[in-house]
Amino acid sequence: MQVNNFTEVDTFLNQAGIELKRAERYRVFISLIVIDLSFTNELFGEQAREMKEKIIEVAQQNVRGSDLLSRVGDDKLVLLFPETSRQGAEVTSKRLSEIIRNRLSMLSERRVDNIIHLEMSSFPDTAGAKTVSAFLEELAKRSRN
């Protein structure tokens, strides 16, 4: 069953802001992952756009219906995980990275071992370099440029 949890960036930012306020009010976890898709440009050349779409499909198929996804610009995929601790987001990011590498290997008929770069932030845990709200502000600026 395909879940329609991919949103336009403005809708994503609005919903993420609501979820962050809820997390702050009720002291529940929320995590955000930003996946850098730029590695596909060098690896796949003219097929990079198609491969980025495949990565988005893989992400949609492998997250919960309550999670949100959005693309920011050409090279960023943002995932929001309500009620998910940093540890849960780390497990999810590792699992997604492996699934993405396997799918790209299958589609391109060659082994894809590239490290998939990502940034992560969680609330209330602030072990990351940026807070969730700082990430959302940065994403909002990028989406307007």
Q: What is the pTM of this model?
A: 0.86
| Total of domains in the chain | 1
Alpha-carbon span 117 to 139, nearest angstrom: 17
Structural domain span for residue 128: 9-144
Alpha-carbon span 55 to 101, nearest angstrom: 9
| Domain-embedded: residue 1 | no
The CATH number given to whatever domain includes residue 99 is 3.30.70.270
| Domain-embedded: residue 19 | yes
Q: Which one, of 100, 98, 59, lies nearest residue 81 by Cα?
A: 59
| Domain-embedded: residue 73 | yes
- The per-residue pLDDT for range 31-88, each reduced to its tens digit, is 999 999 999 999 999 999 999 999 999 999 999 999 999 998 889 999 999 999 999 9
Q: Which one, of 132, 116, 135, lies nearest residue 124 by Cα?
A: 132
| Domain-embedded: residue 109 | yes
